[in-house]
Structure 1
Amino acid sequence: MLRRRPPLLAPPELNDRPLRRTLDELRSPHQLHGLGADRTRASWKAVAELLHATGQDWDRRVHRISVLAHALPANVSVRWIADRPEDRDALTVRAYVQAARAVTEGRAVAERAGDACLRAAAAYPEDPTPWLALLLLMHSFAAPTSDTVPVWTEAVTRDPWNRTAYHQMLRYLSPRGHGTVPDLIDFSRQGAIQAPHGSPLALLPLAARTELVAHRRRGGSTDALLADRQWNGPEATREIDTALAKWFHASGPPHAEALADLNLLAFALTRTRRGADAAPVFRRIGRQMTPHPWELLPNPAETFVYWRDQNRA
């Protein structure tokens, strides 16, 4: 009997198996109606157990809550708050859900989402997650940079090298967001320089360069033709060398979105034709391709498989 090969595209939860099990439980027919498999277990309890097990691993907590905010059936966070109105995890999940969905629901909902973020922050003062939910909300509604920086500062005060915090601010400062090219480049370089050895923030300049490529690709035919030239030159080489030395070859602690960073690094290495360096990165990735940044190419899956197989050879 032929074994079915796993899908190439990684899901939003990446390789977080406990999060995947929780999402599977929430997607079961009984849970979609707000009940557990035994028709007595409230659907939010699976999320509560996951977050309790996560503890104060802020990096993984932020990742899990951000994925849950987009994937939860609408009634789960509502019922959790109704059942446990003072539960700080319930307040945080509800705040992130409201912040993630406010952009499609208007300013009135956005104001309530902002209040929910501040309430969650007050309920769990050590947690950077409510501040990142608020930053996400401010990005959606193009708040001035002068207002977003203090919110970002609140998050990184609680978890100084939080990957999500830096990547959210990077997207905000991108010309595809609400910033400029100098803002983007300066922020990414400062973050990479200051971050400790082994931190995934060593890849921030590569993330910024990829943002710049994406910005130029949508700027018109001439800009699109010049976009890939961003990978030519000594700056790109130095950024890749730093990412390899300070993160990929370092023995830093594992983090929740390592798979996304591996894909970013592999993408940069293929753009610069560094096949020998790309080979061990692809081995660590395996079949788990993330949509970004490969979606910037005309045939993302085919390109990913081509380079993966070339480097295996």
Structure 2
Amino acid sequence: MPELDDAALGRVRRRVETCWDRGALDTAVMALLKEAIDEAGEDWDRKAHRLRVLAGAAGRGLPGIWRRHNPDDPSALLLHAWSDLVQAGRQGAGIDLDATRETCRRAAELLPADPTPWTLYLAVLRLERRPSGELSAIWREIKSRDPWNREAHLQALGYLSPDECGSSSQVLDLLDSVRSAMPPNAPAAGLELTALVRSHQRAMTPGGVTALGAGEFWRRPDAVPVLDHAAHYWTSPGFLHHAQALADLNVLAYALIKAARPGDAAQALRATGGVATPWPWSADGEPLERFSHHFARAAASA
């Protein structure tokens, strides 16, 4: 369920998916979209989560129609921009990202306290592989509004990774810059573990000697304390309370399995309540099948 445990969002997502027929969009659905986005208020993590899910459900046509009907509605602008990013991320999608940047700027004018337009702007820079010098000013705008914004930190992690515009040393610089100050249960608390899992998956990709040594990865001195802390705290009821906490618990469960810690992995899997996310399980095959396999074993060991 892309909405994870956000039941209200799930109801809107299903309505959006079933109502869209040959470009027709009734006002009731537009009202539902607006309510779902605006209801998040200043919970910026939940707002980003809802925008991401609704952009994935709506495709490109629906947000464009909503925006044409409400050209100065900031929620319509944000959904339109996020929809552009979803479509641009798909191979061969022809999206005018200059127009998307203008949409982000307009939304930022209408929502001066909201980090979301700036986070989307960062995502545009990432897609375009823009020089890292352009990132700094946008990053300052985000951090001044929401220092531990989960979506922004993950976008920055992707941008700075050796797979995209950066390097392993730049990823380490990002982690060093936030490690000591970030609250342990902040929305971006999963940043370092996410970076480790991505690094582990890169090590596994080539095969051969590199992959054979990947089993030692989770015994490295930089990995052990991160995994120990997350395994100890994250599964406690209510410790993680941000909108995408279940996504971070999926990452934790995957890492614990790779680290050959079945007891801790079972506890993390049970904490997900059986809600799977595509990544990181997709690295090992069909994600729902992989998650279900491990979840069944965790349930049996309870």
Length-normalised TM-score, structure 2: 0.88
* Partner Cα separation in structure 2 for residue 78 and residue 295 of structure 1: 31
Structure 1 segment 1-313 matched on structure 2, within 5 A: 11-29=1-19, 33-36=23-26, 41-102=27-88, 104-106=92-94, 109-219=96-206, 221-245=208-232, 247-249=234-236, 251-252=238-239, 254-298=241-285, 300-301=287-288, 303-312=290-299, 313=301
Deviations 1:53-76 (A, max 9, x none): 221211100111122223214332
Partners of 1:270 and 1:278 within 8 A in 2: yes
Letter in 1 for 2:168: V
* Partner Cα separation in structure 2 for residue 86 and residue 105 of structure 1: 26
**Partner SS state of residue 194, structure 1:** coil
Stretches of structure 1 that go unaligned for 5 or more consecutive residues are 1-10
Partners of 2:250 and 2:272 within 8 A in 1: yes
Stretches of structure 2 that go unaligned for 5 or more consecutive residues are none
CA-atom RMSD in angstroms: 2.4
Partners of 1:262 and 1:285 within 8 A in 2: yes
* Partner Cα separation in structure 2 for residue 18 and residue 31 of structure 1: 23
* Partner Cα separation in structure 1 for residue 134 and residue 77 of structure 2: 23
Partners of 2:45 and 2:149 within 8 A in 1: yes
Deviations 1:110-145 (A, max 9, x none): 111111111111111111111111111111110111
* Partner Cα separation in structure 1 for residue 235 and residue 4 of structure 2: 18
Identity rate of aligned residues, in percent? Answer: 33
* Partner Cα separation in structure 2 for residue 299 and residue 54 of structure 1: 32
* Partner Cα separation in structure 2 for residue 44 and residue 297 of structure 1: 38
Letter in 1 for 2:152: A
Length-normalised TM-score, structure 1: 0.85
Once the two structures are TM-superposed, the CA of residue 92 in structure 1 deviates from its matched residue by 1.8
- 1:132–1:157 distance in 2 versus 1, CA, 3 Å: same
Partners of 1:197 and 1:252 within 8 A in 2: no
* Partner Cα separation in structure 1 for residue 66 and residue 117 of structure 2: 17
Once the two structures are TM-superposed, the CA of residue 160 in structure 1 deviates from its matched residue by 1.0
- 1:136–1:47 distance in 2 versus 1, CA, 3 Å: same
